[in-house]
């Protein structure tokens, strides 16, 4: 059952959604400490997933001309 849920999530989480999720996480990590400086240490957890989502947003199959 968990396999079906994972496959459904993978189909839903398209490269375009990964791109926007990565951008949102990096924007949150950038502007969060400016708005809420008292919890500055927690904003670093948004940087790594944001970069990973941005790097994985590229879809090589869409550009393949075979």
In tens, the pLDDT along 5-52 reads 989 988 898 888 999 999 999 999 888 888 888 877 788 888 999 999
pTM of the shown model: 0.76
Distance CA 25, CA 49 (A): 7
Distance CA 10, CA 29 (A): 25
Distance CA 40, CA 43 (A): 6
Distance CA 17, CA 37 (A): 29
SS3 36: coil
Task: Count other Cβ atoms within 10 Å, centred on residue 52.
Answer: 14
């Amino acid at each position: 059952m968990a396999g079906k849920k994972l496959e459904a999530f993978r189909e839903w989480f398209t490269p375009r959604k990964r791109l926007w999720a990565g951008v949102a996480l990096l924007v949150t990590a950038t502007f969060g400490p400016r708005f809420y400086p008292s919890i500055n240490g927690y904003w670093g957890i948004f940087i790594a997933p944001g970069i990973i989502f941005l790097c994985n947003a590229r879809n090589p199959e869409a550009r393949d001309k075979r």
